[in-house]
Amino acid sequence: MKTLLIRDVPDELHDLLVSEAARNRRSKEKQALYLIETSLVTRPADTCSELLERLWIDPPPDVDPDAIDAYLATRGKRSDRPA
């Protein structure tokens, strides 16, 4: 794997990268790599399982990871509604 060094990143852009990385639960380096990959790699998924795997690893923008975790935590539990 190769290394890429980027210098002279404006403060506003760096702050935005850091905040987006935190929102997506990634390091700023992983967020930058994700942005590079998504902008350069446009290869379509060959199968549905490949597409689902991509969505599981890298959720679409504006998805709240906490909401997903909360939903997954309730899966398989019985309803609290009275019978």
Find the mean pLDDT for residues 66-83: 76
Q: What was the pLDDT predicted at 62?
A: 74
Which domain does 22 fall in, by range? 11-74
Domain count, the chain: 1
Residue type, 12: E
Top mean-pLDDT range of 17-21, 41-45, 48-52: 17-21
Tell me which of 13 and 53 has the higher pLDDT.
13
Averaged pLDDT score across all residues of the chain:
82
Give the E-state strand segments of the chain in sequence order: none
- Residue 83 is predicted with a pLDDT of 56
Is residue 56 within 8 Å of 48, Cβ to Cβ?
Answer: no
- Domain for residue 6, yes or no? no
Tally the residues of the chain. 83
